[in-house]
Amino acid sequence: MNKKESKYFATAEKMDRAMLELLEKKEFEYITVKELCEKADVNRSTFYLHYDNTVELLQEATRYVIDRFLSYFLNEEKPSPIDFETCPSEELIFISAKYILPYLNFIRENRRVFLTTLRHLGTMGLDTYYETMFRKFFTPILARFGVPEPRRPYVIKFYLTGVTAIVMEWIRGGCRDSLEMISETIVDCIFNDGTKEKNS
């Protein structure tokens, strides 16, 4: 990355963070360019050099959050694509520590960002992003497990609502309980009644 690119990305990150910090306190339509520039410590000309308006910055801030979230799931080995129709059924179970721990780690390290995005799902377009993502991954999985098509949206909503409720309770407690304990709680609640002791 050359010096010019480095400076651009540094400014973009400052602007993204400024947008997210202001969204913690107010609705998007009330955020002004002046406030964003003050928060990011840049001048108006710098803002308009990169963006036509605050909507463009909001879109960039949304991509920033998504990229940051996905980075918690990346490892050194590039995962091979899953063939939903032929792979072993155990590979289709995403409610497992392998997937939940990175998700919880992101939340613990980015609590304010997570809560801000929850509050502004529609404004940031994340509701559409999540819907597309879950439809892409979970629809073929539910089909593979024989869940009738009319029931699939309800099953997905059940999982999402339950997991979110557990996560919100964890956040209210200051994320003091371990990632492993919360992950095990989510798995237990989904695969049994949540009250059974784990076999030692």
Q: Choose the final residue of a domain: 70, 85, 104.
A: 70
Same domain, 151 and 61: no
Q: pTM for the full model? A: 0.79
Token match 């001048």: residue?
43
Do 26 and 104 lie in one domain? The reply is: no
Digit-coded pLDDT (tens) for 16-68 = 999 999 999 999 999 999 999 999 999 999 999 999 999 999 999 999 999 99
Q: Looking at the domain assignment, is residue 177 inside a domain?
A: yes
Q: Are residues 103 and 176 in the same domain?
A: yes
Domain end call among 70, 94, 117: 70
Number of domains in the chain: 2
Are 52 and 87 within one domain?
no
Q: Spell out the residues 6+ positions from residue 110 whose beta carbon is closer than 8 angstroms to its own.
A: 68
Report how far Cα 133 is from the mean position of its chain's Cα atoms.
11
d(CA 192, CA 105): 24
Answer yes or no: is 198 within a domain: no
Range of the structural domain that residue 8 is part of? 3-70
131 found inside a domain: yes
CATH number for the domain harbouring residue 57 = 1.10.357.10
Whether residue 196 lies inside any domain: the answer is no
- Considering the domain architecture, whether residues 91 and 147 belong to the same structural domain is answered as yes
pLDDT in tens, 79-98: 555 665 666 666 666 667 88
**Does the residue 199 lie in any domain?**
no
